[in-house]
Amino acid sequence: MFQTIINIPRRIRKAAGYTWSGLKHLFRKEESFRVEMLVLAALAAVAAATPWPAWKKFALAAAYLLVPLAETLNSCLEDLCDLVKPEYHPGVKNVKDKASAAVLFAIFAAALALVALILA
């Protein structure tokens, strides 16, 4: 038990390394992820400049973070599909299209949250 507790910092460092590696890959290979990060930076700048209460700013950030989350999962599914079936297959296309639709739904959710926060 005590040995497990001692290993927690090492596990956190390893997990952080894997996360950093994944983020580097996303920035290098996924243009849509880079665009979404630019939008996030712009939203952060606008939120910092607005006189909104903190809860609205956090709600906006939380809603928008669903977009890069969905994009990351979409990217993972696409990479996995390409590994399993490198040549064209209608089933693989179907999976990729559905994952892309999930990104669109996340964008809609973020846009609706923004409108709701503006009107609130």
pLDDT in tens, 62-117: 999 999 999 999 999 999 999 999 999 999 999 999 999 999 999 999 999 999 99
Q: Domains along the chain?
A: 31-119 (1.10.287.3610)
Amino acid, res. 57: K
- Under the banding of pLDDT at 50, 70 and 90, the label for residue 120 is confident
> What percentage of the chain carries pLDDT values higher than 90?
90
Q: Return d(Cα 66, Cα 107) in angstroms, integer.
A: 8
The reported pLDDT for the residue numbered 79 is 96
Could you tell me the end-to-end alpha-carbon distance of the chain, in angstroms, rounded to an integer? 50
Is 78 annotated in the active site?
no
How confident is the prediction for the chain on average, in pLDDT? 94
Catalytic residue among 30, 31, 36, 71: 71
Which whole-number Å values give the CA distances from 71 to 49, 74, 119, in the listed order? 27, 5, 28
The reported pLDDT for the residue numbered 25 is 97
